[in-house]
Structure 1
């Protein structure tokens, strides 16, 4: 089965309503270009607020179902496309998640994935905002293929990719918000981006599947800091990890990429990593450290 993926890469402004309007417009553009599974970048409704710890930012969260979910369900039904949309979820008072919703082409809400790995690094203070996910790693059968969704920091963990692929996922989507510290870019920037791209392509190799990573662009500067320069470069890689298409560093783009899902079966048959796994020897993976 051949399917077209749509990746929405853009900058975000301070107004959540404007960001939603922008993202829906880009999604419609992707659908016009033939995209059948369309993915947003991480937390597209706002600028990346995790650069500082501020209780006022919890007002950005919304329920699921909620206004954003309903807008994407409406567009999915109208255009007959699948959506992966990344949202700041208010599950209950004092309980918030970094959540991706999966909406099928008939507008039905198939389910949610709540980000499992939560970082706490300079300007990425996500542990202040997000409760670690409790959905586990998941895959969904959509009209246009079986997909799995993980979110940003999850992309560094082969365990998450593997457990999603073991549920039959043919495409792994990674909504993302990652960028450079401007003061570090000249020294570390190339290596940081190279590591980010390489680790995700390696998930495609190890699991014989497609990978779609969707990142934002632009310099976002909180009060009193240098901010983060998001590096864009959203991409789709193939079942052997090869880059099929990649967006630019700093331009708004709707990346529409055709993929052939038959290649998942072909790759997994000719490179039978799943066959040769020694599941009897992996018990220690559930330990924090082996002394």
Structure 2
């Protein structure tokens, strides 16, 4: 049964929803159909932006590269991308969703951003986890920031969150919100009575960059691999706005996209601002990429 986690107060600002669901590997049509039902559910409850998990259409634990290649699609012309774009246009929402992308003979663990006007852009996962290295190429599009009516949106996928450079490059390019489709798994040595490492890293990244971060994880066990759930939405001050939630059922989290509050959270006190205080005389403000920072 789908659980709902919705703020009790009235939500005047745009709302982001993180969908915690259970895709099944190889069952692409069923996964996409289920994801669209959940997008519709989120839209009915006021969401303007919906985030789905990593590889939401294909499942995650591929048996080999041939299976991954067969399930992957061209982006943005593949059937899944078109289905999500159609749902976004029909419902008047933006959607960020993880997808296996095929680019000729190369495969990427990607995420697609679609909106009411169609395809907005694609992000390719930069840091591959474990057996992903057998199937996918490392992302080659950097850390793009997409300008939307809801704010400036960047994307990270799962293991990208272990690298503070991803969030910093998003922040220095003017991002307000990072959407994180993810398939978090248990970490070695994880104490049972402590939060998942991923949630701690998310809170730290949000706080140290003044970014809102919306993480949609999957649940279930697939070909022996357990996924931990614990989806959450974190404000620009680093404190959770919704979640983390249980690992054993589907759930939708909601939180306001309050850009004024997010940007204000970068001011830690009258003297300190997490982005202005960077010592750019000591280290390259764009981490050596050569990209120009966006105005804040």
1:31 aligns with 2:43: yes
Contact 2:58 2:100 (8 Å CA) reproduced: no
Aligned match for 1:113, one of 94, 112, 123: 123
Say whether the 8 Å CA contact 1:152–1:178 is kept in structure 2.
yes
Q: Map 1:39-118; keep pairs closer than 5 Å.
A: 39-50=51-62, 52-65=63-76, 66-93=78-105, 95-106=106-117, 108-118=118-128
| Structure 1 unaligned spans of 5+ | 222-226, 287-291
Q: Distance in 1 between matches of 2:138 and 2:186?
A: 24
Aligned to 1:128: 134
* 3-state SS of 2:281 partner: helix
Greater CA drift, 145-154 or 255-264: 255-264
Q: Map 1:131-142 onto structure 2 (within 5 A).
A: 131-142=137-148
**Partner residue of 2:264?**
266
- Asked if the contact 1:2–1:261 (Cα under 8 Å) also holds between the matched residues in 2, the reply is no
Name the structure 1 match of 2:230: 233
- The separation in 2 between residues aligned to 1:16 and 1:273, in whole angstroms, is 42
TM-score normalised to the size of structure 2? 0.86
SS in 2 for 1:277: coil
Structure 2 alignment gaps of length 5 or more: 1-11, 289-296
> How far does residue 73 in structure 1 lie from its aligned partner after superposition?
1.2
RMSD of aligned C-alpha atoms? 2.1
> CA offsets per residue over residues 194-226 of structure 1, 9 Å max, x none?
3211111111101112111110001112xxxxx
- Contact 1:172/1:212, CA 8 A, preserved across alignment: yes
Alpha-carbon distance between aligned partners in 2 of 1:88 and 1:9, rounded to the nearest angstrom: 18
Of residues 228, 242, 246 in structure 2, which corresponds to 1:245?
242
Q: Residues 236 and 263 of structure 2 are in contact (CA less than 8 Å); yes or no, is this contact kept in structure 1?
A: no
1-structure distance, mates of 2:53, 2:65: 22
Given the two structures, how large is their TM-score scaled by the length of structure 1? Answer: 0.87
In structure 1, C-alpha distance between the alignment counterparts of 2:30 and 2:199, rounded to whole Å: 30
Aligned to 2:210: 208
Q: Secondary structure at the match of 1:8?
A: strand
* TM-fit CA distance, 1:85: 1.4
The separation in 2 between residues aligned to 1:54 and 1:277, in whole angstroms, is 42
In the TM superposition, structure 1's runs of 4+ consecutive aligned residues that sit over 4 Å from their partners are: 283-286
Structure 1 distance, partners of 2:163, 2:115, is 27
- 3-state SS, counterpart of residue 68 of structure 1: helix
The 1:147–1:54 alpha-carbon spacing in structure 2 relative to 1, beyond 3 Å, is: closer
Aligned residues: 271
Match of 1:199 among 198, 201, 210: 201
1:6 aligns with 2:17: yes
Comparing 16-25 with 251-260, greater Cα deviation is found at 251-260
The answer to whether the Cα contact below 8 Å between 1:105 and 1:142 also exists between their aligned partners in 2 is no
Q: CA deviation at 1:104?
A: 2.3
1:156 aligns with 2:162: yes
* SS of residue in 1 equivalent to 2:276: coil
Tell me the SS of whatever aligns to 1:17: helix
More helix by share: 1
**Does 1:20 find its partner at 2:32?**
yes
Taking the aligned partners of 2:142 and 2:230, their CA distance within structure 1 comes to 28
